[in-house]
Amino acid sequence: MKTERLTVAQAAIKFLKNQFVERDGLENRFFAGCFGIFGHGNVAGIGQALQQNKDFRYYQTRNEQSMVHTAAAYAKMKNRLSTFVCTSSIGPGATNMITGAAAATINRLPVLLIPGDIFARRNVAPVLQQLERDITQDISVNDCFKPIAKYWDRINRAEQLITSLPEVMRVLTSPADTGAVVLSIPQDVQAEAFDFPADLFKKRIWKIQRQRPDKEILFKAIEWIKKSKKPLIISGGGTIYSGAEEVLNKFIDVTGIPVTETFAGKGAIPYSKKENIGAVGATGTEGAAAMAEEADLIIGIGTRYTDFTTASKTAFQNPEVKFININVAEFDAFKHSALPVVGDAKVTLEEILLYLKGFKVENSWYQKATNFNKAWNEKVNEYYKDKNHLPVSQAEVVGAVNDFSETKDVVLCAAGSLPGDLHKLWRTQDSKGFHLEYGYSTMGYEIAAGLGAKLACPDREIYVMVGDGNYLMNNHEIITAVQEGIKMTIILLNNNGFKSIGSLSESLGSQRFGTKYKFRNDETGQLDGGILPVDFAANAKSLGANVIIADSVSSFKKALEEAKKSEKTTVIYIETDLEKGIEGYAWWEVVVAEVSEMDSVKEAYQAYLQNKKKQRYYL
């Protein structure tokens, strides 16, 4: 057997750069490179291996959590057919990646994490940053990744890499099981040499299969659709990852079934399609809420039915409602006691369509949807209109960006009140034009993810929309964008507080406690003094970005024009109203204090009990 003597780290990188995926006859390299921050634990291992493998590109980042977000955003834009490796030192460098790993797994996005680890041989223990336990020596902080990793392994002997790496790729390329994969390699093992079989490094192509559903289940689903009077589609992220946008649009044209969209599924059909009644669930439109309540059949396509999608299990009130779930993941297909159509969204919809010729929903149900579509577009026009009031509303800023951006441009966001407004209001025309991380709703995802989105799609303009709270948590990948010459436009909305949690607090009777950015008041002892004097524009400029300050809708529109002409990352800063929001049409459950001295809390608790009465288990 021919062998090649390499360090474990060198062998890992050589293997990873020769992994390819193929779907529908299209082949591409799976890993686009490696993000990393070096320290003891990986500097002499993975760091050295990257240095000598110049055809496997290395990117220097500023925070370990950020680089995982960048990798996940890249994978999302690439429909999970490509991603990055992320490497860190031991200890805090490794645990900094935990939030990013959790977000990737929850959102079903492939990322490979290689955190450094303590010495496998133990003779110098406890090393700097080592967690000691008196019950075992076989543990480190990297064990914290186990609950959130789709696959986790520790390489204590060089030869273990030979069997571990194929498992890493099996999980990363699985449409059903993908997420964060963690390969923990102790620092001494990374630098250890071994005679690896040369065949390990041959080019390998991983075929992304399109799983087809069971015929009996498929025909049952077709029967249910034909018998339904008020069917409703919920399009989730799986629709887009499967590349099923075209067949879904055809499916709607043939059947007339109205369609709603989750955060991850928004964009699969254009906003202008008459049957599109928009966002579903807690942040949904008026039409989606009304029709979900009446529907007798829910056809979930690639959705995992989060509480935002189901309005905390209150969305579907028809006592006879049934569910058909088309999903590549069996786990999701069985939710809500559904008829589980386990299969790839694209090929499953194609097969169902073959047997639905002549089927059309009842005209009254179809007309109801088209009326809601028209009415909602008129309402969006009103929200987008410049009211000439200062500070401007968040909706006006969203509208200005939406109207200015082109079809294939991307709006990107994650946490706060912006995602809800975008879910309701943003007029999508392209399936990759709406990029929301709302499975984990990670504060600080936005700027790092904008970097990943631009790396994935350099021909698109990326508009990162971020509030002041999120910006303060994680803004330093602006430096990476400047360093790499990567251009994105960051729209920084400053409302001097946590707008989303403030609104939530108010709805729970807690009067926005602790959600405004203010000095402590010596008289009250509370944070209700003057506004904090944070100079966001100066901060962004200090990180290397081009900065434009806008103070009205008209000046903001001019800033968008200027930013588009720029070749470098630009931050547009604008102050927005903290309390103006978009009307809600559905409920989201957050518990309210059962007893309180405050009348506002008591009132909120009674409203909470009323909403709870609508919750169902859909058994």
Q: CB neighbours (10 Å) of residue 339?
A: 20
Looking at residue 507, its pLDDT comes to 83
Q: Provide the 3-class DSSP secondary structure of residue 477.
A: helix
Is residue 386 scored above 80 in pLDDT?
yes
**CA 81: distance to chain centroid?**
16
| E runs forming strands in 253-402 | 259-261, 276-279, 297-301, 322-327, 339-342
Looking at residue 512, its pLDDT comes to 87
Q: What value does the mean pLDDT take over residues 287-303?
A: 98
Alpha carbon separation from 463 to 1, 433, 482, 605 (Å, rounded): 53, 10, 16, 39
Is residue 143 scored above 90 in pLDDT?
yes
Looking at residue 233, its pLDDT comes to 98
Is residue 341 scored above 90 in pLDDT?
yes
Which of 160-169, 475-484, 522-531 has the lowest average pLDDT?
A: 522-531
* Topology, domain 215-375: Rossmann fold (3.40.50)
Is residue 263 scored above 80 in pLDDT?
yes
Any idea where the domains of the chain sit in the sequence?
3-207, 215-375, 385-496+532-575
The closest of 144, 185, 292 to 232, measured between CA atoms, is: 292
Is residue 103 scored above 80 in pLDDT?
yes
Give the per-residue SS3 of 525-557: CCCCCCECCCCHHHHHHHCCCEEEEECCHHHHH
Q: What value does the mean pLDDT take over residues 282-304?
A: 98
Is residue 600 scored above 90 in pLDDT?
yes
- The structure tokens listed for 365 are 């149900």
Tens-place pLDDT, residues 553-589: 999 999 999 999 999 999 999 999 988 889 999 999 9
Looking at residue 35, its pLDDT comes to 98
Q: Provide the 3-class DSSP secondary structure of residue 300.
A: strand
Residues forming a β-bridge with 412: 435, 464
The closest of 96, 75, 76 to 85, measured between CA atoms, is: 75
Residue 262: phi and psi, rounded to 5, are -85, 175
Looking at residue 506, its pLDDT comes to 82
What is the Cα–Cα distance from 391 to 368, expressed in whole angstroms? 37
What is the Cα–Cα distance from 86 to 421, expressed in whole angstroms? 32
Is residue 277 scored above 90 in pLDDT?
yes
Supply the DSSP symbol for 513. Answer: T
Q: Are 73 and 439 in contact (CB under 8 A)?
A: no
Angle, to 10 degrees, between the axis of helix 363-384 and the axis of helix 286-294? Answer: 160
pLDDT band at 94 (very low <50, low <70, confident <90, very high): very high
Provide the CB-side half-sphere exposure for 130 (13 A, CA): 20
- Threshold 0.85, pTM exceeds: yes
Q: Name the residue with higher pLDDT: 584 or 515.
A: 584
Looking at residue 315, its pLDDT comes to 97
Q: Provide the 3-class DSSP secondary structure of residue 149.
A: coil
Looking at residue 423, its pLDDT comes to 98
What is the Cα–Cα distance from 554 to 101, expressed in whole angstroms? 40
Note whether 3-207 and 385-496+532-575 share their fold: yes
DSSP line for 47-108: HHHHHH-TTS-EEE-S-HHHHHHHHHHHHHHTTTS-EEEEEE-STHHHHTTHHHHHHHHHTT
Q: What value does the mean pLDDT take over residues 198-227?
A: 98
What is the Cα–Cα distance from 269 to 248, expressed in whole angstroms? 8
Q: What value does the mean pLDDT take over residues 137-143?
A: 95
> Which architecture characterizes domain 3-207 according to CATH?
3-Layer(aba) Sandwich (3.40)
pLDDT band at 500 (very low <50, low <70, confident <90, very high): confident
Q: What value does the mean pLDDT take over residues 149-164?
A: 98
Looking at residue 498, its pLDDT comes to 87
Q: What value does the mean pLDDT take over residues 600-616?
A: 93
- Mean of the per-residue pLDDT values of the chain: 96
What is the Cα–Cα distance from 198 to 540, expressed in whole angstroms? 49
- The structure tokens listed for 252 are 């709607």
Provide the CB-side half-sphere exposure for 23 (13 A, CA): 20
Looking at residue 504, its pLDDT comes to 81
Looking at residue 580, its pLDDT comes to 86
Pairing of strands 276-279, 297-301: unpaired
Is residue 268 scored above 80 in pLDDT?
yes
Is residue 508 scored above 90 in pLDDT?
no
DSSP line for 127-191: PTT----SS-SS--GGGGGGGG-SEEEE--STTHHHHHHHHHHHHHT-TTT-SEEEEEEEHHHHT
Is residue 503 scored above 90 in pLDDT?
no
- The structure tokens listed for 606 are 């009674």
Q: What value does the mean pLDDT take over residues 47-58?
A: 96
- The structure tokens listed for 216 are 């009996």
- Look at the block and give the residue holding tokens 């997420």: 179
pLDDT band at 253 (very low <50, low <70, confident <90, very high): very high
Residues forming a β-bridge with 6: 194
Tens-place pLDDT, residues 18-27: 999 999 999 9
What is the Cα–Cα distance from 488 to 228, expressed in whole angstroms? 46
Is residue 609 scored above 90 in pLDDT?
yes
Q: Which helix (H) or strand (E) element contains residue 7?
A: strand 3-7
The closest of 86, 85, 34 to 55, measured between CA atoms, is: 34
Which of 114-118, 144-148, 293-297, 525-529 has the lowest average pLDDT?
A: 525-529
- Assign domain 385-496+532-575 to its CATH superfamily: Thiamin diphosphate (ThDP)-binding fold, Pyr/PP domains (3.40.50.970)
Q: How many helices (H) and strands (E) does the chain have?
A: 23, 23
Looking at residue 501, its pLDDT comes to 82
